[in-house]
């Protein structure tokens, strides 16, 4: 079943183009980060990091801020992670009083701490529970109800059944990260499985996973038939990526980013994400999480990453940036990561890192 149009969804920035979305990322996609993305070229849609839903949960204040105070002009979907339909419905009731574009359900988080509680990716083992949850959420959400999923837990045995449930419960938009939970971030992305979803559900599908550049976005759209792309870590690395996608989709030349442009991005990100009361050293540590990704495109040997990891103060960090980004400022920032340069942590589930899902 192919989607007819994006009818019913918020309009894209360029009418008729494929949808672009910033993937939800815990401890990353807060209001400050969304604002920085919007500065360099907003995605069509934002998704909040997941709101944990359990017996005592209340929507986290900083996530609500990313909805209530969002001045990017782009719609924000609120993502939930949980499995108890009563608590989920209670949370939705609260969220409906905020200016959300819709409610998104997380069926993909691969962190063991999460899936062991049978939420996120853990639910992919139990299509019966997904049936119940999708039914309850569809009834509780008068507007747009969206799902973000991986293609299975250990394998794709339940994939077709879950896609059938997505169609039956009239989900409005489905984002598919083309890996199983057990594949974490290690395997190739199974774009063929995303193409399969496109043929099985009624709603538009967003392809997700390793969409590293605008040309890659166009290739993935062509091979999957998806209605759009959802981009996570590669938007941390390259916040121009959504603008570049729009240029690529329109057949226009794609913006070339220089190392000097990246220096500007680092500074903007530093000041935007700084929180009052947080010591300088802690903020420098937080910056290193983003710069791990940025550094993948600065030089082919990861020298920027090695140097920035040693910085302890803001002055040291900016000195490293000046050395690596301004010495030859007109040099191109590589549109794709250099293959030898690995970001660590490179994903949400790295143990003992602040990026870990800790529900
Ligand atoms: C730091 C980090 C945090 C994440 N947090 C969430 C989350 O809160 N909800 C979610 O559905 N996915 C989360 N993800 C997964 C991303 O949304 C996305 O599916 C994944 O990174 C693959 O896309 P990419 O290759 O474009 O990064 C997170 C990923 C990272 C790297």
Report the predicted TM-score, pTM, of the whole model to 2 decimal places.
Answer: 0.96
7 — pLDDT class (breaks 50, 70, 90): confident
Element (H, E) at 205: strand 205-208
Q: Are 321 and 303 in contact (CB under 8 A)?
A: no
Centre of ligand 1 to C-alpha 23, Å, is 6
Does 100 sit in the ligand 1 pocket, CB within 6 Å?
A: no
Does 183 sit in the ligand 1 pocket, CB within 6 Å?
A: no
- Annotated active-site residue 203? The verdict is no
pLDDT tops 90 at residue 4: no
* pLDDT tens per residue, range 302-320: 999 999 999 999 999 999 9
Give nearest CA residue, ligand 1 atom 2.
348
pLDDT of residue 186: 92
For residue 79, report the phi and psi dihedrals to the nearest 5 degrees: -95, 135
How many whole angstroms separate alpha carbon 115 and alpha carbon 131?
Answer: 18
352 — pLDDT class (breaks 50, 70, 90): very low
Q: What is the mean pLDDT of residues 111-137?
A: 94
Which of 20, 21, 22, 24 gets mutated to test ligand 1 (max ligand atoms within 8 A of its CB)? 24
Spans of all domains in the chain: 19-249, 259-326
pLDDT of residue 344: 83
In three-state secondary structure terms, 134 is helix
Question: What dotted CATH number matches 19-249?
Answer: 3.20.20.70
Give nearest CA residue, ligand 1 atom 13.
25
Nearest to 2 by CA among 195, 272, 223: 195
Give nearest CA residue, ligand 1 atom 14.
25
Task: Give the Å distances, CA to CA, from 184 to 85, 111, 339, 344, 348.
Answer: 27, 8, 19, 14, 9
Query: Which residues in 25-167 belong to E strands, given as ranges?
Result: 45-47, 51-52, 76-81, 102-107, 144-150
For residue 175, report the phi and psi dihedrals to the nearest 5 degrees: -105, 130
Q: Are 257 and 238 in contact (CB under 8 A)?
A: yes
């Amino acid at each position: 079943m192919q989607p007819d149009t994006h009818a019913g969804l918020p309009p894209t920035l360029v009418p008729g183009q494929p949808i672009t979305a910033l993937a939800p990322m815990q401890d990353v996609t807060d209001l400050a980060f969304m604002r920085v993305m919007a500065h360099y070229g907003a995605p069509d849609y934002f998704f909040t990091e997941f709101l944990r839903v359990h017996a005592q949960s209340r929507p986290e204040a900083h996530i609500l801020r990313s909805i209530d105070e969002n001045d990017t002009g782009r719609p924000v979907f609120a993502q939930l992670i949980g499995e108890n339909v009563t608590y989920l419905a209670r949370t939705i009731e609260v969220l409906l009083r905020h200016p959300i574009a819709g409610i998104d359900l997380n069926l993909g988080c691969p962190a063991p701490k999460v899936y062991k509680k049978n939420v996120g990716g853990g639910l992919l083992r139990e299509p019966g529970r997904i049936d119940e949850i999708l039914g309850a959420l569809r009834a509780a959400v008068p507007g747009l109800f969206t799902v973000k999923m991986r293609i299975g837990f250990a394998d794709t045995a339940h994939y077709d059944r879950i896609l059938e449930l997505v169609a039956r419960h009239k989900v409005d938009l489905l984002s598919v990260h083309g890996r199983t939970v057990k594949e974490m971030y290690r395997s190739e992305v199974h774009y063929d499985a995303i193409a399969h979803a496109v043929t099985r559900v009624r709603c538009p599908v967003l392809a997700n996973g390793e969409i590293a550049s605008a040309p890659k976005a166009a290739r993935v759209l062509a091979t999957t038939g998806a209605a759009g792309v959802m981009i996570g870590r590669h938007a941390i690395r390259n916040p121009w990526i959504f603008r570049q996608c729009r240029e690529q989709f329109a057949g226009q030349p794609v913006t070339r980013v220089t190392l000097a442009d990246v220096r500007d991005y680092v500074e903007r990100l530093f000041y935007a994400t700084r929180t009052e009361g947080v010591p300088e050293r802690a903020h420098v540590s937080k910056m290193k999480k983003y710069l791990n990704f940025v550094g993948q495109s600065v030089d082919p040997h990861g020298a920027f990453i090695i140097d920035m990891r040693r910085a302890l103060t803001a002055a040291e960090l900016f000195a490293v940036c000046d050395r690596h980004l301004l010495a030859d400022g007109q040099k191109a920032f590589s549109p794709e990561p250099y293959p030898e340069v690995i970001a660590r942590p490179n994903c949400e589930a790295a143990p003992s890192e602040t990026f870990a899902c800790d529900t």
